[in-house]
Amino acid sequence: MKAVRTQQKYKCDFCKRRSIKSAMERHEKVCYRNPNRFCGLCENKGFVRIDINNDGSLGYDEPCHYCSKFDPKMKKAIEKYEESIISNN
């Protein structure tokens, strides 16, 4: 019988999530608990431009629904979601 090398797991600095290094490096940048997280959707502007005609002639700004997850009301839901990820591992 031989011992198999398992990959070292890394833990997120901001939440309870853990995974292999490359996955956690990606995760930490966008972790909802990370106060300096980068939002890939709105690029940290806090809103996204909804372009109705797809040519910039008509549109409106909508609050980014990813950033709105900072909302304390959403915190519980996020925690629940995170728990479900962890328990699925």
Q: Which residues bind Zn ion (CB under 5 A)?
A: 12, 14-15, 17, 31, 39, 41-42, 64, 66-67
C-beta closer to Zn ion: residue 29 or 55:
29
Could you tell me the smallest distance in angstroms from the CB atom of residue 24 to Zn ion?
A: 8
Could you tell me the smallest distance in angstroms from the CB atom of residue 55 to Zn ion?
A: 23
Could you tell me the smallest distance in angstroms from the CB atom of residue 77 to Zn ion?
A: 15
State which amino acid sits at residue 2: K
C-beta closer to Zn ion: residue 42 or 74:
42
Which residues fall within 8 angstroms of residue 3, CB to CB, at 6 or more apart? Answer: none
Looking from the CA of 39 toward its CB, the CA atoms found within 13 Å total 19
- 54 burial via Cβ count (<10 Å: 0-12, 13-18, 19+): exposed
